[in-house]
Structure 1
Amino acid sequence: MRKTVRSISWILGVLIVCSLIILGIHVATSGLRSNASQQKTITVASVGSDYDIWQHIAKSNDAKELGLKINVQQITDGVQMNKATSAGDVDVNAFQSWTYLVAYNKQNPQGKLAALGTTYLEPLGIYSKKYSSVDDIPNGATIAIANDPADESRDLLLLQKAGLIKLKAGFGALSGTSDIKDNPKHLNFKTIDDHTGPRVLHQVDAVLISNTIALEGGLHVLTDSIYHEQVNQSTKNNINVLATAEKNKNNKNFKKLVELYHKKDIQKYIKKKYFGTKIEVRKPLSYLEK
């Protein structure tokens, strides 16, 4: 009889322990599911090719492995995108260069943004149907450049790098043709909407075209331009960044987006889709701030 009672007690003890273990596992897994369901979705705003890239990134296995839930929102105006980011309507945006971000912050000191990390450089190119080298461009040639101040200054800096002009000391992000110090070939400058660059290629001696517009026009900056930007200190201001409101610059999940962008699978996709024209730049922010 005593043996029977002991056996029953032992069995009941085992059942109780097993029940507690099962209950513990259930509570733990329920907690994980609850945390996952409560995980904040990161809203990334973008436009154009960057919008397409981040849609792909949001659905990637890399994003899942990092535990990131991403909603991609398209905003076509850069200023509005930055304002939405500053206001918190958007967590992070992916569209602008370092110089654009710096210029925006100067103009909006009450709603400053901060860079989370670098992404890529899209080389600006000089294109010509008449000449195969910048050295062949003759005296008095007409060069088409962008009519937007930020793009115009970038165009002029590339023309200087190509040895065609010299700019005044202190040439800045919004400087223009009035800040050309030396124009030895007496080049004429025609300002155009950047989007029309491929269409005016036959009308001028040379035209400067941003990479996105060049791709849309069937041009490849690395093979079709007669001169283009390289990744170095002279082009650091043109490197694109992920940006967020200044108060969120240390947000760990937002910083994970930088790591995510540079994953091998993601970079393989970008290289294939854009023919290698979005050159990956993985540099510390100190590289831009020098």
Structure 2
Amino acid sequence: MRKGKNLLASAILFLSVILLVGCGKSAKAADSNTITIGSQGSDLNIWEHIAKSSQAKKLGLNIKTKEITDGAQLNTATSQGQVDVNAFQSWSYYDAYNKQNPKGKLAALGTTYLEPLGIYSKKYKKISEIPNGTTIAIANNPANTSRGLLLLQSAGLITLKKGFNALSNTKDIASNPKNLQFKEIDDTTGPRVLNDVPVVLISNTVALESGLHVLTDSIYHEKIDQSTKDNVNILATAAKNKNNANYKKLVKLYHNKEIQAYIKKKYYGTKIEVNKPLTYLENK
């Protein structure tokens, strides 16, 4: 009788192990379609909307969002696998990050949009009104510093040295005929600084959150052309995941017509869709 009880107990234990293993495999399989997207600001809001959309369900994707407000930390979290894919950065920001972090490189999955960087002023209504010696506030991180300087060059205020790149800064200004002065600021403080500094460069994500519309409130802003292609935003993942099929579906999902209609209405057309192959950004 005792032997029979032992056999029964062994059988139950064996079945329990099989069930646990099976459940583990099922959970892993179910989780394989769950993608954690790290983002911030309006981009986070967009992906929260996409996560709940019928379009995401049709593609079989279970999307979760995670907010990380510091760009460098968000890229590090993506590189280390705490975030699967991130949605917040321009190609130039991505390029600068990879150059500065060769052991934790990211890979681009696809393009999303251009969100124009704008030149704002409460004192001047036109670029031509900016006088000699004016102080201009510009972002203090490498990618956005170089982006801002390129915009100032496009506006005809300065000329940059040959070979100017994503890691260049004010030392790479070749000509500054108006003797403009530069004040480096944290990206997020632009709208507040606008009360104290005559001219401020503000990213559209930050501008929108402060009630500013780049297409109507800035005195000059970026346009979509070859000179701004490095400022096109992308989806990025850890380098080892660059061929992940489900992650690549996110690019298609972002460019879905219904999703784009929502984004255009929600953000007043300031997130200009750019549906281009990565070669468009890679080719110089």
Bin for the TM-score computed over the shorter chain: 0.7 to 0.9
Corresponding residue to 1:67 among 60, 65, 78: 60
Cα distance, 1:76–1:207 mapped onto 2, change above 3 Å: closer
| 1:204 maps onto 2:197 in alignment | yes
Could you tell me how far 1:151 is from its partner in structure 2? 1.8
Matched residue SS, 2:136: strand
Residue 41 of structure 1 corresponds to: 34
Residue 239 of structure 2 corresponds to: 246
Could you tell me how far 1:130 is from its partner in structure 2? 2.2
| 1:80 maps onto 2:70 in alignment | no
> Does 75-84 or 94-103 show the bigger shift?
75-84
Gaps in structure 1 of 5+ consecutive residues: 1-32
Q: For each residue in 1:148-173, what CA deviation from the matched residue of structure 2 results, as whole angstroms up to 9, or x when unmatched?
A: 33222211110001000001111221
> Does 148-157 or 238-247 show the bigger shift?
148-157
Residue 185 of structure 2 corresponds to: 192
Matched residue SS, 1:119: strand
Cα distance, 1:36–1:198 mapped onto 2, change above 3 Å: same
Aligned mates of 2:139, 2:84 — CA distance in 1: 31
Matched residue SS, 1:284: coil
Cα distance, 1:141–1:76 mapped onto 2, change above 3 Å: closer
| 1:103 maps onto 2:96 in alignment | yes
Corresponding residue to 2:267 among 246, 253, 274: 274
Residue identity matched to 1:237: D
Could you tell me how far 1:205 is from its partner in structure 2? 2.8
Could you tell me how far 1:221 is from its partner in structure 2? 0.3
TM-score by length of 2: 0.85
Aligned mates of 1:150, 1:126 — CA distance in 2: 16
Corresponding residue to 1:219 among 194, 212, 216: 212
Q: For each residue in 1:81-120, what CA deviation from the matched residue of structure 2 results, as whole angstroms up to 9, or x when unmatched?
A: 2222223332211111111111222222222211010011
Cα distance, 1:58–1:182 mapped onto 2, change above 3 Å: same
Corresponding residue to 1:169 among 140, 154, 162: 162
Aligned mates of 1:195, 1:78 — CA distance in 2: 11
Residue identity matched to 2:282: E
Residue 45 of structure 2 corresponds to: 52
Aligned mates of 2:192, 2:81 — CA distance in 1: 39
Cα distance, 1:64–1:170 mapped onto 2, change above 3 Å: same
Aligned mates of 1:183, 1:36 — CA distance in 2: 59
Aligned residues: 258
Aligned mates of 2:31, 2:133 — CA distance in 1: 64
Residue identity matched to 2:262: Y
Cα distance, 1:148–1:67 mapped onto 2, change above 3 Å: same
Could you tell me how far 1:183 is from its partner in structure 2? 0.9
Cα distance, 1:38–1:144 mapped onto 2, change above 3 Å: closer
Residue identity matched to 2:112: T
Residue identity matched to 1:159: L
Residue identity matched to 2:272: I
Residue identity matched to 1:257: L
Aligned mates of 2:207, 2:82 — CA distance in 1: 32
Q: For each residue in 1:107-145, what CA deviation from the matched residue of structure 2 results, as whole angstroms up to 9, or x when unmatched?
A: 222222110100111110011222221122122222222
Matched residue SS, 2:103: helix
Residue 150 of structure 1 corresponds to: 143
Q: Identity rate of aligned residues, in percent?
A: 71
Q: Any residues of structure 2 matched to 1:229-240 within 5 Å, and which? A: 229-240=222-233
Gaps in structure 2 of 5+ consecutive residues: 1-25
Could you tell me how far 1:35 is from its partner in structure 2? 11
Residue 139 of structure 1 corresponds to: 132
Residue 111 of structure 2 corresponds to: 118
Matched residue SS, 1:120: strand
Matched residue SS, 1:56: helix
Aligned mates of 1:155, 1:120 — CA distance in 2: 18
Could you tell me how far 1:34 is from its partner in structure 2? 9.9
Could you tell me how far 1:39 is from its partner in structure 2? 5.0
Cα distance, 1:114–1:37 mapped onto 2, change above 3 Å: closer
Aligned mates of 1:173, 1:37 — CA distance in 2: 40
Residue identity matched to 1:279: I
Could you tell me how far 1:191 is from its partner in structure 2? 2.3
Aligned mates of 1:254, 1:285 — CA distance in 2: 15
> Does 83-92 or 64-73 show the bigger shift?
83-92
